[in-house]
Structures are given as C-alpha cells and as structure tokens.
Amino acid sequence: MSKIAFLFPGQGAQYIKMGKDLYENIPECRELFNKGEKILDMPMKEIIFDGSDEILTQTKNNQPAIVLTSLMAQKALSLKGIEADYVAGLSLGEYSALIYSGILSFEDGLKTIKKRARIMDSAVKKGVGGMAAVLKLDREHIKILVDRASEFGKIEVANYNCPGQVVISGEINAINEACGIAKSLRGICKVLNVSGPFHSSLYEEASFKFFDEIKDIKINETDKKVYSNVYAKPYKNDDDIKEILRKQIMSSVLFEDTIKEMIKEGVDTFIEIGPGKVLSGFVKKIDKTLNIYNVEDMKSLEETINSIKEN
C-alpha cells in the first residue's frame, strides 16, 4: 500500500484566480474559504479572484492567499477520502502543513500567517537585499560560492530545493557578486524578482517580533509526521515549535533533505496541494521513480484521484 505525503507550496506560487473553480464547484471548499476570509478580515475573494498581480504579489496579501487556497485544495482532496500521514511545506507552505495536521487550528494558523506576512513585508527596506537561484552547482561548490560572496556583504543559502538548484539570499551587493562567482564555477545564477532577502539573517529582528506575536497561540499534538524546514525532521510533540518557527523565518529551507527523509520512511507518493507545480518538479529531480501528483483545480483533482485509484 502506498505511503502518501502532502506538500504545500510557498510564496511565489500565487496566480490570479487560483482555486476559483474549487470555490465555485465544491460547497465545502466555498464554506472553508468564506470562513477563512472572515478570520483574516481581508477581502480575499477580491484579492485572489478579481485582483491584480501587483496586489496579489505583495507579501502581506500572498502569504494568506496561498495558505487559504492550499487548504481549500486539501479540503477537496480529503472529501475524496485521501489523507496523508506525512506532510511538509516549502517555507510559507509549512504553515499549511501545520494547519492540516492540527498542530495549529485553522483560526490560529490563519491569524499567525497574517501576522507573519505583515512583519515580513516591512522588515527589510526595499533595495537592501535580494535573492537569486543558482543552478548546476553541488553543495560543495555552493559553499565556495557563499564564502567568496560573503566578502561583499551578508549572504546565505535560503533554499536547498533539489540537486543542482539552490536559492541564495542576502544583501544586494553580495547577491550580484555571487552571480559572477557562480559563472566562474560553471554554474548559472539568476536574480529573482522578490520583495526581500527571505530566509537570511537580515530577518533576525523580524523573527523575534514574530515570536512575540505568536507566544500565546495554542500548539496541539498530532499523530502525523510534519517535517520542519529548519531541521528536515518531523516535529516531536515536546519540541518548542514556536521557537522553531521563529528560526524558520531566517534559516535555510531544507526541502531536498526533507523529501529524502520521507523517501527513507517509505513514502512513494507525493501530492502537491495548492497553486502551481514547482514542488512536483523538485521531487522529480530528487527521484524520478516516485508517484507525483498535484491538486490545484477541478481538473487536477480529478486526474489525481483517478491516478491514485489505478495505483
């Protein structure tokens, strides 16, 4: 019998009208979305279904938008009887995973995301920092790259996505220099269009502000294995989850390591839940033999259900 893992996407996966046909065709999804909109006290239908890319891309909007849309897609899948014992998310997606598992309630999870988005949106002045994707370099050469670029400013690895693809983050001078260094190491470097140097020590102050905001939220026990971005290991019920979430804002996202840990546990089926197929692409590059699906709309929901039934 297949072991299933759910994967939830992070910031950057958003697009206008994401999840709209789930909202229109599945009453339970519509109910969940409307409930979330009230909890967030934000015009989510207007932002997601009728807004502009410019508005949706703003951190304060896209973090709650992606989480709410992902949870709507997960609801659609659960209504078909498909659940997962293993669950993870990329950066922001970790909060969708925590809500799905019950570690955070739906209400507390959405309120937490709204606070996180607000703090991150204003934490670093625009133009101070940035991010870049680095391709075709192994981890040994990534370390060389970061060490050399750090002479020009703060710079760190933000994401270990899959073999041959990492994201670096830090001060803009160091990022620009890193792209030249990557080329000299026979890699490819592309500066990303993002609003801040996420998952770097430039967010340390913001991480403590966030911790102060979440110190009173309730953390619940779960029987699911929810993997932490910071450690690439499942949370334990006695972990200081709030402190780990504080660190997550400024630490590397160990996505590749997480997938490899799940594979060691016997997981052979991965379902990306929410907008886009970015995580599915990463998983394929880690292991092409796995069963990989995604659910973001009615068509992909039907295709995933049919494929799982066949297997």
Q: Would you name the residues annotated as active-site residues?
A: 91, 199
Is the sign of the CA dihedral 247, 132, 48, 306 positive or negative? negative
Burial (CB count <10 Å: 0-12, 13-18, 19+), residue 238: exposed
Strand partners, 132: 168, 191
Helical ranges in the chain per DSSP H: 20-25, 27-40, 44-49, 53-57, 59-79, 93-101, 106-123, 139-149, 172-184, 204-214, 241-250, 255-264, 278-286, 298-310
Instruction: Give the Cα separation of 241 and 248 in Å (integer).
Output: 10
What residue type is assigned to position 6 of the chain? F
Cβ burial 252-274 (10 Å sphere, 16+ → b, else e) = bbbbbbbbebbbeeebbbbbbbb
What three-state secondary structure class fits 44? helix
Residue 41: which of 100, 118, 95 has the closest Cα? 118
DSSP track, 212-266: HHHTTS-----SSEEB-TTTSSB--TTS-HHHHHHHHHHS-B-HHHHHHHHHHTT
Residue pair 311/271 in contact (Cβ under 8 Å)? The answer is no
Q: What's 151's DSSP letter?
A: G
Instruction: Give the Cα separation of 74 and 82 in Å (integer).
Output: 9
